[in-house]
C-alpha cells in the first residue's frame, strides 16, 4: 500500500520530466528557452559541488545558501517574536485585539511587494531590505493563526486548570499555549513558506549573494539551465526548512507532538 | 444527616443579567452537605443545578448569600472543591499519567512520591497500565475515570460532579456508579448533580430537588435503603416513582433557560 501511494505521488513528477526530456530530444523548444534536464542537472551539479573557477557559478552555492538562510531565519524569527505574543494577546484580551486589529488589518491590505521601493529607500540594497520584506510577509499568517488558536481555546480547560490550582500567568504556559499549538504550528509553516517567496523577491534587487541573486545573475548571462537548477534548489531547500521546522517544534513542545 | 456540615449554602441567590433584566435562577436557597455524605441534586433542566455547582466551585460569584466550606467563605476555584465535568475536559496533549499529575504542579513533591501517588490513583480508578495513553485513545468511561483520578490526587474536601455519567452507555454508567460508591464508603464528601432519578436513588444518602419555580430546594428525601441497592427492589422502585411524581409537578420548560451570559 505504501509503495502504491509513493508511486502515485511520484507519477506526475515523472510524467513532467518525461515530457521535458521529449521536448529537448525532439528539439520542440529551443535550448535557450528550455535546456534539457541533463543540462540543468549538470549546471546545478557544478553550482553546488564544482570547485571554484570551473565556471562562473562553480563554488558559489555554499556562500549563496548561507546568505539566503541567514536572511530567511532573521526575518522569520522577527515575525515569530512579534507575531506569536501579539496574536496570543489579541486572541485573549479584547483591548489588545481592538488596538491591534485595525492596524494589522490595514497593513495586511497592502500587497507585500508594495513595500519593496520603500524598503530600498529606507534600508538600501542588501540584508536589511530582504529581512524587512521577509519579516513583514511572515508576520501575518503567524499572528493570525496564533490569534485564532488562542481565541478558540475552550473555557472548560481553564476551569479545569483553575480547580487544579493552575490559573493566571501559569495557565498561559500550562494550558493556553498547548491548546493553541496546532494553530501556532500551522501559522509557522505558512510563515516559513512565504518567507522563501519574499526572500527571492528581496534578492532579485541586485544583492551580490544569495540564491535569488544567483538566478537573477544567470538571467543576465543568459544561462537558463542555472535558472532552472536554482528554482529546483530553492524548492528543495524550502521544503527542507518546513520539515526541520516541524521537527524542531515537536522536539521543543510536547503539545505539538501529540494532539489527536 | 449525621456529622458536621462540610458545605453550607446560606440564603443563596443568583441572577444573570439578560438585556438589562435580571433573570433570577436561585432564590434564598439553603443547603448543607455533611462530612462524608453523598448528596444528589436533581431538578429539571434550567432549574439552576449547574449554576449552583459553578458557585460552589468558585467559577461564579453568587449575587447574594454565602457559600461556606468548612465554615469559611469559598473564594476562587481550588483543589479543595474539585469538579468532574459532564464533557471531557482532559488535556489532550498530556498522557493519562500527566493529566493525573497535573494538579500536583510545582508543589515541589519529590519525583518518586509523585509517581507513586499517580500510580495509586490510576489503580484506584481501575486504569493501572493505561498511564502512557493519550486521552483520545480512551473510551468515554475511561476518560471520566481519568478525570476522577485527576481531581482525587489533591484529596478534595468536597467532590463536585456535574452529570458526569450522562454521556455514557448504561453498562459503563453502572460501573462508574460502583466506583463512586467506593469513594463514598471511604467518607469522601460528594455533591452530585444529575437529572436521572434512578441514578440519584442508587447513589445518594440524600436526594435534594432543586425547584425551578421557587429557585430553592423544594423537596428532600433521605435514602435509607441498604447499600448495594437492588434497582428492581420494591422499595427502590417506590421511591423512584415518588420522586418522579414530584418532579412532574414542576412547571414545564418555560422559565429561565440554561443559557449563560
CA distance A256 to chain B (A): 8
Q: Is position A211 within any domain?
A: yes
CB < 8 Å to B78, chain A: 162-163, 165
Select the residue from A158, A165, A178, A252 to test the B interface by mutation, using most B Cβ atoms within 10 A.
A165
Which cell numbers hold the place of A97? 485585539
* ipTM for the whole complex: 0.87
pLDDT one-digit tens code per residue, A166-214: 988 889 999 999 999 999 999 999 999 999 999 999 998 888 899 999 9
Residue pointed to by grid coordinates 450522562:
B166
Give phi and psi for A252, each to the nearest 5.
-80, -35
Q: Does A255 touch chain B (CB under 8 A)?
A: yes
Q: Is position A16 within any domain?
A: no
Q: Between these two residues, A32 and A193, which has the higher pLDDT value?
A: A193
Predicted confidence band at B260 (pLDDT cuts at 50, 70, 90)?
very low
Domain count, chain A: 1
Q: Does B171 touch chain A (CB under 8 A)?
A: no
Instruction: Please report the DSSP string for chain B in residue order.
Output: --S-EEEEEEEEEEEEEETTEEEEEEEEEEEEEETT-EEEEE--TTSSHHHHHHHHHTSS--SEEEEEETTEE--S--TTEEEE-SS----TTS-HHHHHHGGGTTS---HHHHHHHHHHHHHHTT-TT-TT--GGGS-HHHHHHHHHHHHHTT--SEEEEESTTTTS-HHHHHHHHHHHHHHHHTT-EEEEE-S-HHHHHHH-SEEEEEETTTTEEEEEEE--SPSS--TTSHHHHHHHHHHHHHHHTSPPS-SS-S---
Contact A162 B59 (CB under 8 A): yes
CA distance B209 to chain A (A): 26
Query: Of the candidates A162, A181, A259, which has its C-beta nearest B77's C-beta?
Result: A162
Q: Is position A229 within any domain?
A: yes
Mean pLDDT for chain B? 88
Q: Does B109 touch chain A (CB under 8 A)?
A: no
Q: Is position A55 within any domain?
A: no
CATH of the domain at A108: 1.10.3720.10
CB < 8 Å to B57, chain A: 159, 163
Contact A259 B93 (CB under 8 A): yes
Predicted confidence band at B67 (pLDDT cuts at 50, 70, 90)?
very high
Q: Is position A8 within any domain?
A: no
Contact B82 A163 (CB under 8 A): yes
pLDDT one-digit tens code per residue, B222-235: 988 877 788 888 88
Residue B185 has a pLDDT of 87
Instruction: Please report the DSSP string for chain A in residue order.
Output: -HHHHHHHHHHHHHHHHHHHHHHHHTT-S-TTTS--HHHHHHHHHHHHHSPTTSSSSTT-HHHHHHHHHHHHHHHHHHHHHHHHHHHHHHHH-HHHHHHHHHHHHHHHTS-GGGHHHHHHHHH-SSHHHHHHHHHHHHHHHHHHHHHHHHHH--HHHHHHHHHTT--THHHIIIIIHHHHHHHHHHHHHHHHHHHHHHHHHHHTTT-SSSHHHHHHHHHHTT-HHHHHHHHHHHHHHHHHHHHHHHHHHHHH-HHHH---
What is the arithmetic mean of pLDDT over A146-168?
93
Q: Is position A220 within any domain?
A: yes
Nearest CA to A209 out of A43, A51, A65 is that of A65
Q: Is position A27 within any domain?
A: no
Give phi and psi for A131, each to the nearest 5.
-60, -40
Question: How many of the other CB atoms lie within 10 Å of CB of B245?
Answer: 9
Predicted confidence band at B100 (pLDDT cuts at 50, 70, 90)?
very high
CB < 8 Å to A182, chain B: none
Contact A164 B94 (CB under 8 A): no
Q: Is position A59 within any domain?
A: no
Q: pTM for the complete prediction?
A: 0.85
pLDDT one-digit tens code per residue, B186-203: 899 999 999 899 999 999
Nearest CA to A211 out of A227, A195, A224 is that of A227
Structural domain for A218, as ranges: 65-256
Among chain B residues, the shortest Cα distance to A154 is held by B89
Q: How far apart are CA B84 and CA A6, in angstroms?
A: 46
Predicted confidence band at B256 (pLDDT cuts at 50, 70, 90)?
very low
Among chain B residues, the shortest Cα distance to A157 is held by B89
Among chain B residues, the shortest Cα distance to A259 is held by B93
Q: Does B96 touch chain A (CB under 8 A)?
A: no
Amino acid at each position: 500500500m505504501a509503495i502504491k501511494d509513493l508511486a502515485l505521488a511520484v507519477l506526475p513528477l515523472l510524467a513532467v520530466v518525461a515530457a521535458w526530456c521529449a521536448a529537448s530530444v525532439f528539439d520542440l523548444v529551443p535550448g535557450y528557452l528550455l535546456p534539457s534536464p541533463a543540462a540543468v542537472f549538470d549546471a546545478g551539479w557544478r553550482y553546488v559541488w564544482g570547485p571554484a573557477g570551473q565556471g562562473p557559478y562553480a563554488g558559489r552555492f555554499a556562500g549563496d545558501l548561507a546568505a539566503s538562510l541567514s536572511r530567511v531565519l532573521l526575518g522569520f524569527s522577527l515575525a515569530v517574536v512579534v507575531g506569536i505574543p501579539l496574536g496570543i494577546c489579541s486572541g485573549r484580551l479584547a483591548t489588545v485585539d481592538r488596538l491591534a486589529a485595525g492596524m494589522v488589518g490595514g497593513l495586511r491590505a497592502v500587497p507585500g511587494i508594495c513595500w519593496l521601493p520603500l524598503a530600498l529607500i529606507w534600508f538600501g540594497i542588501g540584508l536589511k531590505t530582504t529581512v524587512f520584506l521577509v519579516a513583514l510577509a511572515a508576520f501575518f499568517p503567524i499572528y493570525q493563526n496564533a490569534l485564532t488558536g488562542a481565541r478558540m481555546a475552550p473555557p472548560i480547560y481553564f476551569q479545569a486548570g483553575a480547580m487544579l490550582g493552575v490559573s493566571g500567568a501559569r495557565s498561559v504556559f500550562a494550558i493556553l499555549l498547548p491548546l493553541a499549538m496546532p494553530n501556532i504550528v500551522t501559522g509557522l509553516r505558512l510563515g516559513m513558506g512565504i518567507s522563501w517567496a519574499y526572500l527571492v523577491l528581496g534578492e532579485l534587487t541586485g544583492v551580490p549573494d544569495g540564491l535569488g541573486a544567483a538566478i537573477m545573475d544567470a538571467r543576465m548571462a543568459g544561462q537558463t539551465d542555472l535558472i532552472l537548477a536554482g528554482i529546483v534548489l530553492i524548492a528543495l531547500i524550502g521544503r527542507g526548512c518546513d520539515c526541520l521546522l516541524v521537527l524542531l517544534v515537536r522536539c521543543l513542545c510536547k503539545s505539538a507532538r501529540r494532539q489527536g | 444527616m449525621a456529622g458536621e456540615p462540610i458545605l453550607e449554602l446560606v440564603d443563596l441567590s443568583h441572577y444573570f443579567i439578560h438585556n438589562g433584566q435580571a433573570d433570577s435562577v436561585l432564590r434564598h436557597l439553603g443547603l448543607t452537605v455533611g462530612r462524608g455524605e453523598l448528596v444528589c441534586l436533581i431538578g429539571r433542566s434550567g432549574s439552576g443545578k449547574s449554576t449552583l455547582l459553578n458557585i460552589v466551585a468558585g467559577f461564579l460569584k453568587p449575587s447574594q448569600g454565602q457559600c461556606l466550606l468548612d465554615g469559611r467563605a469559598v473564594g476562587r476555584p481550588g483543589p479543595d472543591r474539585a469538579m468532574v465535568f459532564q464533557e471531557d475536559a482532559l488535556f489532550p496533549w498530556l498522557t493519562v499519567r500527566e493529566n493525573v499529575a497535573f494538579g500536583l504542579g510545582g508543589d515541589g513533591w519529590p519525583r518518586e512520591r509523585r509517581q507513586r501517588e499517580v500510580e495509586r490513583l490510576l489503580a484506584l480508578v481501575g486504569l493501572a497500565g493505561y498511564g502512557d495513553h493519550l486521552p483520545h485513545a480512551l473510551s468515554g468511561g475511561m476518560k471520566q475515570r481519568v478525570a476522577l483520578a485527576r481531581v482525587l490526587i489533591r484529596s478534595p474536601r468536597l467532590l463536585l460532579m456535574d452529570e458526569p455519567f450522562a454521556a455514557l452507555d448504561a453498562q459503563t454508567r453502572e460501573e462508574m456508579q460502583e466506583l463512586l460508591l467506593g469513594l463514598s464508603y471511604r467518607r469522601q464528601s460528594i455533591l452530585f448533580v444529575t437529572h436521572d432519578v434512578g441514578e440519584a436513588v442508587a447513589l445518594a444518602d440524600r436526594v435534594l430537588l432543586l425547584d425551578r419555580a421557587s429557585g430553592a430546594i423544594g423537596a428532600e428525601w433521605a435514602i435509607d435503603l441498604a447499600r448495594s441497592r437492588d434497582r428492581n427492589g420494591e422499595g427502590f422502585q417506590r421511591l423512584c416513582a415518588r420522586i418522579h411524581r414530584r418532579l412532574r409537578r414542576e412547571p414545564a420548560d418555560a422559565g429561565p433557560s440554561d443559557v449563560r451570559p
